[in-house]
Homo-oligomer: A and B are copies of this chain.
Amino acid sequence: MGKIVPVVLCGGSGTRLWPLSRPSRPKPFLALIGENTLFEATLERASDPTKFAPPIIVAGAAHIEHIQGQLSEAADAEIIVEPAARNTAPAIALAAARLPADAVMLVCPSDHHIADTDAFVEAAGQASKLAQQGFLVAFGIDATSPETGYGYLRQGAPLGGGYRIAQFVEKPDLARAEAFLAAGDYCWNGGLFAFRAGDFLAELAEHRPAMHAAVLAATERGTSDGRLFHPDGAEFDAIQGESVDYAVMENTDQAAMVPAAMGWSDIGNWQALHEAQNTDGDGNAASGRAELMDCTNVMVRSDGPRVSAVGLENIVIVVEGDEVLVTTHAGAQLVGKLKGASGK
């Protein structure tokens, strides 16, 4: 059995972690937890050479400089430069088209946090086995709270090491999310997938033939430049963007899932980052110069100025350059709507 090929997707700019994430410093390339950036950590956790092949990285032109800077010179990786942002289905198809049909791809977003690498590698192995049997496999992230910001997967019939997917569920309201959590057979859809390149392309050809044709044409007419691969822009630009869930996973008869309890977080906002971090006995987490007096569940992050906080509860404070953000946990959902986050 061949090694798993990590396919690392670097998309989006991300305004919800503003002022840390900005268009010039997208989220994957920030060290949000620990010393490594999320991108570096994504590569690191799929780097065991006995299990994983060198990665394929799919990214927009704006991200290439960050990627080259954070990828060692010697790294044996291919970087596919998306001519345009067209969501995840075309991005994954580009990688699939560059691989042998029987290669197992492991699709990994580059801006998530996974606390338990061993559990991740274990789940990747299980997913790879199902992929070898022709399944298109999603990671079913162990749901630990009634999140309304994620899509859900409902477990179907058991397979060896996993389950069929009975249903893809859109982001629910709170009542439904609580029902899912109570039912126990719903997992979060974390955007991690495993399948053989050929199986993916075959399903894409069946369900999205125009996209399939455009990706193959863009790849055939593409050009290599060192480890960079540039698909043809004219072909790719014409694609109608769509997520892999909509284009393929919800349509295939071969959808499967593997359970994954691995301390996953999409770090979708400041509250999520706070919760993913190590905190002290009062739930506080401070990086940079800070003094917290009578504070509970307070996160402080400063790139320089000292932050002094008194009497706060469930608050995030971020100082970055000439921007200061102070938000409640609940307010963290709205950060992307601030003037600063939209570059005004």
Contacts and interface: CB of A to CB of B under 8 A. Distances in A.
A319 B323 CA distance: 10
A2 interface: no
A51 interface: no
Most B CB within 10 A of own CB, among A321, A328, A340? A328
A317 interface: yes
B322 A305 contact: yes
A338 interface: yes
A324 B334 contact: no
A335 B311 CA distance: 10
B294 A312 contact: no
Nearest to A291: B339
Contacts of A311: 327-328, 330-331, 334
22 contacts: A293-B331, A293-B338, A305-B319, A305-B323, A305-B324, A306-B340, A308-B323, A308-B324, A308-B327, A308-B341, A309-B325, A309-B326, A310-B325, A310-B326, A310-B327, A310-B328, A311-B328, A311-B330, A312-B315, A312-B327, A319-B324, A324-B324
Interface of A: 19, 291, 293-294, 302, 304-312, 315, 317, 319, 321-328, 330-332, 334-335, 337-341
A330 B311 CA distance: 7
Contacts of A306: 322-324, 340
Contacts of A308: 19, 323-327, 335, 338-341
Given A310-B331, A332-B310, A291 B338 contact: yes
Contacts of A321: 305
A25 B304 CA distance: 23
A316 B19 CA distance: 20
Given A304-B322, A315-B326, 10 more contacts: A293-B334, A305-B319, A305-B322, A305-B323, A305-B324, A306-B324, A307-B325, A308-B335, A310-B325, A310-B334
Contacts of A328: 310-312
Most buried by B among A304, A325, A341: A325
Nearest to A310: B331
4 closest A-B pairs (Cβ-Cβ)? A311-B331, A310-B331, A311-B328, A310-B327
A297 to B, nearest CB: 14
A331 B312 CA distance: 8
A28 to B, nearest CB: 23
A312 B325 CA distance: 11
A311 B329 CA distance: 8
A172 B133 CA distance: 79
